[in-house]
Amino acid sequence: MIDRSEKYLYTWRFIFLSSILFLVGAGLVWRMLDLTVIDRAFLKQQGDARTIRTMVLPAYRGMITDRNGEPLAVSTPVDSIWINPQDFDVQDQDIPQLAKLLNLPVNSIKALAKEQKKGFIYLKRGVEPALANQIKELDISGVYLQHEFHRYYPEGEVASHLIGFTNIDDKGQEGIELAYNDWLQGSPGKKRVIQDRMGHIVEEVAKLQDPRPGQNIVLSIDRRIQYIAHRELKKAIEQHHAASGSIVVLDTVTGEVLGMVNYPTYDPNVRHQARTENYRNRAVTDVFEPGSVMKAFSIATALESGKYSPNTVVDTRPGSMMVGDNEVRDVHPVGVVDLTGVLKHSSNVGTAKVILSLPKTDLVNFLHRLGFGNLTGSDFPGESPGVLQTNVTWGPFVQATLAFGYSISATPLQLARAYTVFATGGKLLPVSLLKVNAPVQGVPVLKPKAAKQMLTMLEAVMESGGSGAAGQMEGYRAAGKTGTARVATRGGYDPHRHIASFIGLAPVTRPRLIVAIVIVDPKKSYYSAQVAAPIFSQVMNDSLRILEVPPDNVALVEKQKEV
Amino acid sequence: MNAAARVMEQGSWFRGDVKKVSLTRELFAMLSLMVLVLASALAVVYVKNLERQLFSDLQSVQQQTNRIQVEWRQLLLAQSTWSTTARVQKIAGAMGMVLPPSNNVVLVKS
């Protein structure tokens, strides 16, 4: 028999054990509720914070290449080393090794680390990836890497004005880099990933943004021609102790700029030494009064009018004439010559006489049609439109000075472009700094007959006895015009400073290139015939050879037959 | 659960009387479903593992792409720097190479 008290004891025990079991169960259920329902959001967030990372997918800035695909500007990844002074351990035994790798004195690193208020200090920017990896392996606390891009310009100072450069944040600052920044620039992408404890990526959760790499740009220039122009310009400027200069090489079939150089120049790879004024692409941004090279357009105006032919006789005696209250003079009087002779000997009096005999607006309208006073459409940042006054309220003297290239200012590129009318039978071509694949349609601005006559007359300029004789080449027939102008200063012209220029085209039988040369302030000799014309023959000859244009000089070809 | 409970109540297996077990249609369906569930569970494990492996392969291939791209750009730069016209000219000069003068040039008409 079971005792009453025993029975009571059993019942009590049963209740006690049941309650404990119930409490344990309830506790577990509560904990489950607590974790999965009440704290769910917090815990999930904490979990994600430990595993989910947003990664940046880098995007390259586009390349700039020349017309043959040779790279002119390329971005490659580099690392910047930075420290957080608050985490940085000055006593770390690897610090001398770090200093050695970065080529920095140990003391300066320690001094930087003492700036406890800051949380971010660059130790060195633009470090090569291999070197950066060695630094990463040192594993010094408080030293971090930041991935960046550095832009290299293999051609250095040869193409720097045209291409420009980017700043340390990879944004275009000058030249093509600036003009086409949006096109070149990529935008980095982002993706969300799950990382394990070791930092390995276990899973890609979502791609937040696709990286969009920058687009490449193919320029119209040929790096070989660019180099030749640079070499000759540099040589000439050093030889004549000139202040500055520019050369533009234009393709007369497509209107592309094959070469565009300036001096003084700078190396975009080591820019901290450069002076800001050397950044200017003078061929496009600087205007000057061109002087005699403009006479070609005056003579073309005369031919266009129908009142003149290349053989029309002009009396330039006695080598000077009064226009209103001012005198127009020839440096070397040329006497009675035909229109070709006026151009060949570059007579101011002859040109002024011819233009004054024509309606007042003829020349200025022609110059306007040639694009003077307007942007060329090269889209180069900072391009100057030059100055051409088209309201004809001026007197005959201004008209006369316009005839021989004063009272107007233009850029070297504008002048080179205007000369395309003589190469294309009267059509003005649009210029382009980017490669042109389709043939271009020029705008007719001069009668084909006048353009053809002009080409013959401009060739005469380069015959012996003409002002451009020094620009002659052995293998190719060339046509061109010299110009020597005084530098305009406040209140008149500086008698001691000159601008020598030469614009020519070749080969005459089938024009392919225009070369325009401008040399500012040559000290030794200032006549274009001695300064600019010899550069023309060098640049033109070498460029035509590079483009594999067959020689058209009959004399040479005849001579070869005899051999 | 109910089906399983009923099997445990009524089935001969759980009463230790194995010989009496007869393969009824329900039992067969249930057993095959169990096998299928097990197989599918193992397949999930296998596929997940495969995914991890493939993803890690993808990662390393992507890293390789990046490395190769970096190298390509550096080689491109090197090539372009070594072949600048200025350098070619200098070396040509050092080797005594010159442009043939025009009297040594013969034009071949095609």
Question: What are the domain boundaries of chain B?
Answer: 2-82
Please state the rounded mean pLDDT for residues A501-511: 93
* Smallest CA–CA distance from A70 into chain B, residue: B80
A155 in B contact zone (CB under 8 Å): yes
Do A71 and A178 belong together in one domain?
yes
Of these ranges, A113-117, A245-249, A463-467, A520-524, the one predicted with the greatest mean pLDDT is: A245-249
Determine, yes or no, domain membership for A1: no
| pLDDT attached to residue A119 | 75
Average pLDDT over residues A321-336: 86
| Cβ–Cβ contact A223 with B under 8 A | yes
Residue A426's identity, in one-letter code, is G
Q: Are residues A539 and A484 in the same domain?
A: yes
Measured CA to CA, the distance from residue A93 to residue A62 in angstroms comes to: 42
Asked if A201's CB is within 8 angstroms of B107's CB, the reply is no
Chain B residues inside the 8 Å CB shell of A235: none
CATH number for the domain including A501? 3.40.710.10
A317's tokens:
């005696």
Inter-chain CB proximity B56 and A129 less than 8 Å: no
User: From A542, which residue of chain B is nearest by alpha-carbon distance?
Assistant: B99
Residues A209 and A328 occupy one common structural domain: no
- Evaluate whether A160 touches A265 at the Cβ level (below 8 Å): yes
**Contact status of B104 with chain A (Cβ, < 8 Å):** no
CB contact under 8 A, A154 and B59: no
In a domain, A16, yes or no: no
Res A332 pLDDT > 90? no
Which one of A61, A151, A196, A227 would you mutate to disrupt binding with B, by most B Cβ within 10 Å of its Cβ? A227
Is residue A205 within 8 Å of A162, Cβ to Cβ? no
pLDDT class of A323 with cuts at 50, 70, 90: confident
- Highest mean predicted confidence (pLDDT) among A146-150, A412-416, A523-527, B81-85: A412-416
Q: Which residues of B touch A76 (CB under 8 A)?
A: 70, 73-74, 77
Residue B5 has pLDDT above 80, yes or no: no
Contact flag B86-A227 (C-beta cutoff 8 Å)? yes
d(Cα A348, Cα A331) in Å, to the nearest integer?
A: 9
**Residues with Cβ < 8 Å from B20, sequence gap 6 or more?**
B12
CA B104/CA B108 separation, integer angstroms: 13
Asked whether the beta carbons of residue A475 and residue B86 sit closer than 8 angstroms, the reply is: no
- Mutate: best of A65, A200, A202, partner B, most B CBs <10 A: A202
- Residue B72: closest C-alpha in chain A: A76
Question: What's the half-sphere exposure (Cβ side, CA atoms, 13 Å) at A146?
Answer: 16
User: Mean pLDDT, to the nearest integer, of B8-33?
Assistant: 73
- Tell whether B56 lies on the interface with A, counting CB pairs under 8 A: yes
Q: Does residue A470 belong to any structural domain of this protein?
A: yes
The reply to whether A141 falls in a domain is yes
Task: Please state the ipTM of this predicted complex.
Answer: 0.71
Q: Where is the domain boundary, A155, A185, A218?
A: A218
Mean predicted confidence (pLDDT) in A261-273: 87
Does residue A497 have a pLDDT over 70? yes
- The label of the residue with tokens 């107007």 reads A408
Give the C-alpha separation, A278 to A311, whole Å: 46
Set of chain B residues whose Cβ sits within 8 Å of the Cβ of A207: none
Sheet holding A479-489, edge to edge: A257-263, A244-251, A513-520, A492-506, A479-489
A55 and B CB contact within 8 Å = no
DSSP class of residue A496 equals E
Q: Is B31 on the interface with A (CB under 8 A)?
A: no
A62, closest residue in chain B (CA to CA): B73
Could you read off the pLDDT of A352-409 as tens digits, one per residue?
Answer: 999 999 988 889 999 999 999 999 988 899 999 999 887 767 788 888 888 888 889 9
Same domain, A308 and A185: no
- CATH code for the domain of A126: 3.90.1310.10
Tell me: do A71 and A126 sit in the same domain: yes
The answer to whether the CB atoms of B73 and A76 lie below 8 A apart is yes
- pLDDT greater than 90 at residue A86: no
Q: Give the least confident one: A62-66, A201-205, B71-75, B102-106.
A: B102-106
E-strand stretches of A8-129: 52-57, 64-65, 71-83, 121-127
Same domain as A387, residue A335: yes
In a domain, A207, yes or no: yes
From chain B, pick out residues whose CB is under 8 angstroms from the CB of A560.
Answer: 105-107
Cα A311-A312-A317 angle, rounded to 5 deg: 115
B-proximal residues of A, 70-129, CB under 8 Å: 70-71, 74-77, 129
Two structure tokens written together for A15 = 């209740």
Q: Which residues of chain A are within 8 Å of residue B59 when distances are taken between CB atoms?
A: 200-201
The answer to whether the CB atoms of B77 and A155 lie below 8 A apart is no
Which residues does residue A122 pair with via DSSP β-bridges, in sequence order? A82
Q: Are residues A359 and A315 in the same domain?
A: yes
Residues in chain B within 8 Å Cβ distance of A202: 52, 55
Distance CA A283, CA A380 (A): 11
Active-site annotation of A, residues: 292
Shortest CA gap A181–chain B (Å): 20
Q: Residue A36: is it exposed, middle or buried by C-beta count within 10 angstroms (0-12/13-18/19+)?
A: exposed
Distance CA A561, CA A20 (A): 121
Query: Are residues A151 and A286 located together in one domain of the fold?
Result: no
Under an 8 A CB cutoff, do A560 and B105 touch?
yes
Q: Is any Cβ of chain A less than 8 angstroms from the Cβ of B73?
A: yes
CA–CA gap between residue B55 and residue B53 (Å, rounded): 5
A161, A189, A218 — which closes off a domain?
Answer: A218
Q: What is the number of structural domains in chain A?
A: 2
pLDDT, one tens digit per residue, over B54-90 is: 988 988 998 899 889 888 988 988 898 898 888 998 9
Residue-number span of the structural domain to which A186 is assigned: 55-218
CB-CB contact of A506 with A473 (8 Å): yes
- Do A441 and A339 fall within a single domain? yes
Rounded CA-CA distance A561/A557 in Å is: 7
pLDDT in tens, A180-239: 999 999 888 888 888 877 777 777 888 888 888 899 999 999 999 999 999 999 999 999
Instruction: Please indicate whether, in this complex, the C-beta atoms of A475 and B76 are within 8 angstroms of each other.
Output: no
**Residue A455: predicted pLDDT:** 93
A330 and A195: one domain?
no
How far is C-alpha A43 from the geometric centre of its chain's CA atoms? Answer: 55
Any chain A CB within 8 A of the CB of B54? Answer: no
C-alpha–C-alpha distance, residues A40 and B6, integer Å: 38
Residue in B52, B74, B86 closest to A202 by CB = B52
Segment A115-123 shows an average pLDDT of 78
Whether A560 has its CB under 8 Å from any CB of chain B: the answer is yes
Within a domain: A49: no
pLDDT given for residue A459 in this prediction: 92
User: Amino acid identity, residue A297?
Assistant: F
Note whether A76 contacts B77, CB cutoff 8 Å: yes
State the average pLDDT for chain A. 87
Chain B interface includes A231 (CB < 8 A): yes
- Chain segment A147-184, per-residue pLDDT in tens: 888 899 999 899 999 999 998 788 899 999 999 999 99
As a whole number, mean pLDDT of residues B50-55 equals: 90
**Beta-carbon separation of B80 and A70 below 8 A:** yes
Are A259 and A247 in contact, with CB atoms under 8 Å apart? yes
Q: In the prediction, which pLDDT does B8 show?
A: 58
Distance in angstroms (rounded) separating the CA atoms of residues A329 and A130? 69
Give the pLDDT of residue A184. 93
Cβ pair B70:A77 closer than 8 A: yes
Average pLDDT over residues B39-60: 92
Mutate to test the interface with B, among A63, A152, A232, A548 (most CBs of B within 10 A): A152
Between A48 and A479, whose confidence is greater?
A479
The answer to whether residues A479 and A438 belong to one domain is yes
Residues of A with CB below 8 A from B81's CB? Answer: 154
Query: How many cross-chain Cβ pairs, A to B, lie less than 8 Å apart?
Result: 56
Burial of A283 (0-12, 13-18, 19+ CB in 10 A): buried
Task: State CA A199 to chain mean position distance.
Answer: 43
The answer to whether residue A39 is domain-embedded is no
A73 neighbors A223 (Cβ within 8 angstroms): no
Does the beta-carbon distance from A556 to B102 stay under 8 Å? Answer: yes
Contact check, Cβ <8 Å, A224/B85? yes
> How would residue A519 be classed by pLDDT, with cut points 50, 70 and 90?
very high
What pTM was estimated for this model as a whole? 0.81
Q: Are residues A487 and A357 in the same domain?
A: yes
- Among A218, A246, A275, which residue terminates a domain? A218
